[in-house]
Structures are given as structure tokens and as C-alpha cells.
Amino acid sequence: MENSLEPVIAEEDLETDYLKIKKGLVRGQHQVAKGISWDGREVTLILRMAVGEKQSFDRIRIKGVPDIDLKIEGGIHGDIGTSTVIVNYIPALLKLPPGLHSTRDLPLPHFTI
């Protein structure tokens, strides 16, 4: 596993409805995490969160047969995405016996109708 986390520096003064960022100050972060599975498959996460980005989107690319390239314009709001996962795990949690549990005790997330 490799991980890098770097600041994104403002190249000009920025202003939003909520804050001002002067040129040269940190306006966000850029993270790259890479991992390799036991059978040699690679996964890379690139996360860039910064004030003043020209485009906002989430993208998933899977190299396979067939290749998949999914781009969600505007991205998925982090708090909404997290709460959705938690709410959808409620049925699985209710099936567990009382006590302290971790995500290892839960089934992999999936979608069914």
C-alpha cells in the first residue's frame, strides 16, 4: 500500500460565499492511494478536494472485459453517501446478536430490488 497526501495551493486569491483564501495558502488536498491485491490486481484512489476547482465529479474506471468508465457530474455528496451506506446496513445489523461488532461482521454491501 502506498499513500501520498499533498496540499493544493491557491494560485490566485479565491472567494466563496463562506470564506476567502489568499494566493499561496492551502485551498484543499490531493491524495493518491495505491494498493495491490494478493493476486496482483491494482487499485488506485485519487481524491482531490479543493476550493475553486473548475469541475466537480466522481469517476470510477475499471479495466476489464468490458472496461467501465463511470463519471458522475457534480459528484456524490460525502455526508449523503455515508449516511446512505449506514441506513442500508440497518437490516444486516438487526440480524447480529447483541454486543460489539465491526464491519468485518457485516456482509459486503450490495443492491437488490
Task: Please spell the DSSP secondary structure of 41-92, one letter per residue.
Answer: -EEEEEEEEETT-S--EEEEEE-SSS-EEEEEET---HHHHHHHHHHHTHHH
Stated pTM of the model: 0.70
* Domain annotation covers residue 104: no
Which range among 44-53, 73-82, 85-94, 101-110 has the greatest average pLDDT? 44-53
* Domain annotation covers residue 6: yes
Residue 29: which domain range?
Answer: 2-54
* Domain annotation covers residue 18: yes
How many domains, in total, are found in the chain?
1
* Domain annotation covers residue 15: yes
Whether the per-residue pLDDT at 78 is higher than 90: the answer is no
